[in-house]
């Protein structure tokens, strides 16, 4: 029901808040969510142009039984071709997980 998603290794502007929210809403009714962008200094990433990533906390109103690791995949905005943007998916099991994830998404954006 609650998930922590990380889309990493993105070009700046390849994803945005509205596109992520639209994708989440297409997956079912949302109970709550928090979306945040994070930038890394050029020296901390292999490709200096891919310094952006997004963290997403999402809770759906109904239980989700997700088996596919590509369930939350998105396509890039087309600027860099039709890249499939894959995220890591983790579940949030405790109230403290929820608090930590929401706080983390708000740290930079």
Residues 6+ apart with CB under 8 A from 13: 52, 77, 79
Q: What is the pLDDT of residue 47?
A: 58
Check residue 21 and give its pLDDT.
97
Distance (Å, whole) CA 107 – CA 27: 26
pTM (2 d.p.): 0.86
**pLDDT band for position 46 (50/70/90)?**
low
User: What is the tens place of the pLDDT at every residue in 48-107?
Assistant: 667 788 999 999 999 998 989 999 999 877 666 678 899 999 999 999 999 999 999 988
Per-domain residue ranges of the chain: 2-105
Is the dihedral angle over the CA atoms 27, 104, 68, 1 positive or is it negative? Answer: negative
Which fold is adopted by the domain 2-105?
Answer: Replication Protein E1; Chain: A, (3.40.1310)
3-12, 24-33, 98-107, range with greatest mean pLDDT: 24-33
């Amino acid at each position: 029901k609650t998930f922590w998603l990380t889309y990493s290794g993105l070009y700046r502007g390849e994803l945005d808040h509205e596109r992520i929210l639209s994708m989440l809403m297409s997956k079912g009714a949302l109970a709550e969510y928090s979306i945040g962008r994070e930038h890394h200094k050029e020296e901390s990433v292999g490709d200096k142009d891919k310094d952006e990533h997004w963290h997403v906390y999402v809770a759906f109103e109904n239980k989700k039984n997700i088996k596919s690791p590509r369930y939350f995949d998105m396509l890039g905005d087309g600027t860099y071709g039709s890249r499939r943007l894959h995220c890591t998916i983790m579940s949030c099991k405790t109230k403290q997980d929820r608090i930590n994830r929401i706080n983390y998404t708000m740290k930079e954006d």
